[in-house]
A = this chain, B = another copy of it.
């Protein structure tokens, strides 16, 4: 039974993601994304589950920067988890009783409509995480009457769900990834895979990004996400995270990545893993493995003088 570290405390969306990615895993809550990843790096856990991006908030920059700068880890799975906020309170509390509401600022933003409509007079106080808010509310004598948090947090801390699905948008999603220490074989290609890279530029000349995108497009590899992050060396110096369709074992993907490796300063491979949405890639004419294989054999014959 593997042991997986995650962004705790108990009751976070990350724990919910972990439970879906690996229902049987032993769960090790950690105080931060960095702590969870370090637990995996140090062998205290067999892997870790962390959030990568959210459809409202965008990239989780701590995760991006850990993947780029920290000791290497490999993404081996991803999960898209709908973000469903619940209004949680100690048993016996009713909505009209709620004077002080406690939750994370992202939840305040995403539940703004519900709060204005149903709790117009409540004082809303910012908590470090939604799970921490639930934990605090569960304490006898807490100054807070209710928390907004995932339902799983209510189960952990013995709170009652007064209302569920209270986010302004019902389609908010967070993308989580499971990482493992490198060294073993990569996940097998499934036909519906995604690959993630970090690329540092050798020299930050105009047109460098266009050149990188051309390495992908000329081999028919479709990008699904690009994030720029500062290198730390001053405003105007960035490195890039890329997500794209396909598996590094695919010929077109391998050639594109090798091309980036040649023209860029450094390429860090973060993993090839099954897509959570199960979508098959669009394979452009001339870029299938079979076509790469046939072209390679043809080239070998021509180089040997067999035309």
A interface, CB within 8 angstroms of B: 53-58, 61, 72, 74, 80, 126, 128, 169, 171-173, 175, 182-186, 202, 206-207, 209-210, 213-215, 217-219, 222-230, 232-238, 248-249, 254-255, 257-259, 261-264, 268-269, 277, 282, 285-287, 291-292, 294-296, 298-299, 302-307
Q: List 30 A-B contacts (CB under 8 A).
A: A54-B230, A55-B232, A55-B235, A56-B232, A58-B61, A72-B307, A80-B235, A183-B305, A185-B304, A206-B223, A209-B223, A209-B226, A210-B214, A218-B218, A224-B236, A225-B228, A225-B238, A226-B228, A227-B227, A228-B228, A248-B302, A258-B296, A258-B298, A259-B286, A259-B295, A261-B298, A262-B286, A262-B294, A263-B285, A269-B302
Contact status B171-A234, CB under 8 Å:
yes
Query: What number of copies of this chain does the assembly contain?
Result: 4
A17 to chain B, nearest CB (A): 13
Contact status B307-A74, CB under 8 Å:
yes
When distances are taken between beta carbons in the complex, the residues of chain B under 8 Å from A219 are 259
When distances are taken between beta carbons in the complex, the residues of chain B under 8 Å from A249 are 303
Contact status B56-A292, CB under 8 Å:
no
Task: Contacts A184-B305, A228-B226, A259-B218 given; indicate if A233 touches B291 (C-beta within 8 A).
Answer: no
Contact status B225-A258, CB under 8 Å:
no
How many Å lie between the Cα of A35 and that of B171 in the bound state?
Answer: 27
User: Smallest CB-CB separation from A128: which chain B residue?
Assistant: B126
When distances are taken between beta carbons in the complex, the residues of chain B under 8 Å from A126 are 128
Closest 10 CB pairs of A and B: A262-B286, A263-B286, A206-B222, A258-B295, A182-B307, A261-B295, A258-B299, A210-B213, A262-B295, A269-B302
A239 to chain B, nearest CB (A): 11
Task: Contacts A53-B230, A233-B55, A262-B292 given; indicate if A217 touches B210 (C-beta within 8 A).
Answer: yes
When distances are taken between beta carbons in the complex, the residues of chain B under 8 Å from A234 are 55, 171, 173
When distances are taken between beta carbons in the complex, the residues of chain B under 8 Å from A184 are 305
A223 to chain B, nearest CB (A): 7
When distances are taken between beta carbons in the complex, the residues of chain B under 8 Å from A235 are 53, 55, 80, 173, 175
Task: Contacts A58-B61, A222-B206 given; indicate if A307 touches B233 (C-beta within 8 A).
Answer: no
A2 to chain B, nearest CB (A): 17
When distances are taken between beta carbons in the complex, the residues of chain B under 8 Å from A261 are 295, 298-299
A41 to chain B, nearest CB (A): 13
How many Å lie between the Cα of A183 and that of B233 in the bound state?
Answer: 37
How many Å lie between the Cα of A262 and that of B286 in the bound state?
Answer: 4
Contact status B58-A229, CB under 8 Å:
yes
